[in-house]
Amino acid sequence: MTEGPNPLPFDSFMNPGLGKYSKAYKESIETPEKFYEGAAWILDWYSKWDSVLDKSNEPYYKWFVNGKLNVCYNAVDRHANGNRRNKAAYIWVDEKGNEKIVTYRGLYKRVNALARALREMGIRKGDRIAIYMPMIIEEPVAMLAAARIGAVFTLIFSGFGAEAIAERINDCGARLVITADGGYRRGKIVPLKESVDRALELTKTVETVIVVKHTGSEINVVEGRDYWYHDVVQDKELVEPERMDSNDPLFILYTSGTTGKPKGVVHGNGGYAVWIANTLKWAFDPQENDRWWCAADIGWITGHSYIVFAPLILGLTSILYEGSFDYPTPDQIWKLIAYYEADILYTSPTAIRALMKYGDEYPKSHNLSSLRVLGTVGEPINPVAWEWYYEKIGSSQCPIIDTYWQTETGGFVISPAIGIGVAPLKPGSATLPLPGIDPVIMDQDGKELPAGEKGFLVIRKPWPGLMIGLNNDDEKYRSMYFGKFKNMYFTGDYAIKDKDGYYWLLGRADEVLKVSGHRIGTIEVEDALLSTGIVAEAGVFGKPHQVKGESIVSFVVLKSGTTSESPVDTIKNGVRHNFGPILIPDEIHIVGSLPKTRSGKIMRRIIKAVYQDQIPGDITTLESGASVEEIKEAIEKFRKELKMANDQ
């Protein structure tokens, strides 16, 4: 694991060499203000900044101090009033095949109409609004309209229930909510307005609700509070974009932790927009005529940064999809790529593993030759999944941009960067830091570790995309992110840097297992399980052990068509052969599916809670609860088998 698989060179079809990258990276670390001075002109500014960076109140960093801009103007107006006016900004499609194409000029008109409606409802610069919507065109329109008038929005993932909505509204003090009557998911209607109604019984600040008619479902309309979207956006005059300070807040996005209330991550206007636009350009090198598909949900930071703001700032055409990748048939995603001739696909490793289990015939039956670049987001990608993605989806011709970042970082921080030079890729590694990112691996005492040793991933220097704070929680911001290693950003992740300077993410620091004196990341064990060839997905955690300290427990989903008569033995033998005995789980439970969020992350804490007969906590973001029941059944079966063995 330390050295990783052999590098795969891609010099034949990408800009060869690392000269451009090395030059940019060196400048960004040695003379950051000069570097970011140039990077900032990816945007249009009303007035230039006085200084690039103010560190006088660290860890509250200010970027492009006193610079004035509007993110909506940069994402919409400058294209709508220029050569891209008739270019598609979004191609929207749903799982039933309905389609809607919105040009930059059309987006401009929609955003202006809603911005005017918000103004007429009393929303002004600095006011807070909440957005709770399905994956429809009106969702980015709402975000852009808020940015246009300087309202701070919080977009709430449409999988959350009433209590989670209320908690976020109460923390940010939202005055207005934009929602829809419902959304579609796997052929069923999700009643979104109903959830908002229940949430508002627990809040006091909301005065107005705007509702998009999307599914045609019957809803409860509260007189004087609820308004239909199509009624309020008609015949509206244009709205001049608000001139925002670079360090004014743009949005608040709540990250749901395993315990305690969610953290309200606040991102600003200038630094955030500069960072996401540049990182998309650096990492993926999108071209003018590309069709970009970031196959995530807008409710997460991936969607904020790389479905809405960055692609629009760069003037790209994005595919926006409402539905599941494997519904109504397992090849839905491949059908859409072939039909719309997507050039770049950016999705999660969990989605890739889930699609792998259906076999190779589905992607093989569609023409995926339009794809030029592939990307992954959300968690480290296992080498086995990486190779399948590269070979079966990209026909061994597409580089895989394995991006490492977080809600708090705003955009990519460690990633291949084909836009500024190419290093050979290693399956499973996020490769090298992007310009401006100065990562280091440290031990518990803050000592820098040499190559090959596992430790905590820390970033030493600030960068423009870094959050500007936590809403209503200064103490947590300072202690959680900058307290462990003074004035250095603590990612909370466990990682290793190999001898070539490549970074390998090994899971959350609080999920690291200590087995017989060895510190092992959960990702390492899951990689080992997938390497056996019969495992499609795996979730791993540790439990106390009198001798070893911790023992490894795993739940796995087998690949379709697995014929092994004793799959548990096959898996154990495969792990022993590929990685040695230390990574062999003490328990391997076979299930039909694992609990995952709708954004694709395996919820290990829920697996562990069910295993330990504990309440699993918040499961509102689960794709399906069926996997929880399957895990319970697998545990019960294991206990019966264990009892029978002991009785004998």
Q: What is the pLDDT of residues 355-395, one digit of tens each?
A: 988 889 999 999 999 999 999 998 888 888 999 999 999 99
Helix, strand and coil percent figures for the chain, each rounded to 5: 35, 25, 45
Domains observed in the chain = 512-647 (3.30.300.30)
CA separation for the pair 487, 309 (Å, rounded): 29
Tell me how far apart the alpha carbons of residues 330 and 363 are, in angstroms, rounded to a whole number.
10
Nearest to 159 by CA among 500, 562, 633, 624: 624
Cα 94-156-182 angle, rounded to 5 deg: 40
* HEC profile of 228-296: EHHHHCCCCCCCCCCCEECCCEEEEEEECCCCCCCEEEEEECHHHHHHHHHHHHHHHCCCCCCEEEECC
Residue 478: other Cβ atoms inside 10 A: 16
Give the model's pLDDT for residue 14. 40
pLDDT score at 134:
96
Mean pLDDT for the stretch of residues 186-208:
95
Provide the pLDDT for residue 241: 98
Q: Distance between alpha carbon 468 and the CA centroid of its chain, in Å?
A: 19
| Cβ(626)–Cβ(638) below 8 Å | no
Specify the pairing of strand 489-497 against strand 535-545: unpaired
Quote the mean pLDDT of the chain. 90
The whole-number pLDDT of residue 9 equals: 42
Question: How high is the pLDDT of residue 423?
Answer: 75
Other beta carbons within 10 angstroms of residue 59's beta carbon come to: 17
- What is the pLDDT, as a whole number, of residue 353? 85
Q: pLDDT of 496-541, one tens digit each?
A: 999 999 999 988 887 778 787 677 878 888 888 988 889 988 989 8
Peptide bond into 464 cis (omega under 30): no
- Going by pLDDT thresholds of 50, 70 and 90, the confidence category of residue 619 is low
212 touches 131 (CB < 8 A): no
Average pLDDT over residues 112-124: 97
pLDDT tens-digit map of 313-368: 999 999 999 999 999 999 999 999 999 999 999 999 888 988 988 889 999 999 99
CA distance 451 to 440: 10
Do 71 and 251 meet the contact criterion of CB atoms below 8 Å apart? no
Q: What is the mean pLDDT of residues 11-38?
A: 80
- Which residues touch 161 (CB under 8 Å, ≥6 apart)? 195, 620
Output the pLDDT for position 422: 72
- pLDDT at position 56 over 50: yes
**Is the separation of the CB atoms in 513 and 520 below 8 Å?**
yes
CA gap 156, 179 in Å, rounded: 10
Collapsing DSSP to helix, strand or coil, 48 comes out as coil
Model confidence band, residue 583 (pLDDT cutoffs 50, 70, 90): confident
Rounded CA separation 404/416 (Å) = 10
Distance, CA of 624 to CA of 622 (rounded, Å): 5
Quote the CA–CA distance of 442 and 446 in Å, as a whole number: 5
pLDDT on residue 257? 52
- Which range has the top average pLDDT, 160-164, 206-210, 350-354, 640-644? 206-210
pLDDT confidence bin for 19, thresholds 50/70/90: confident
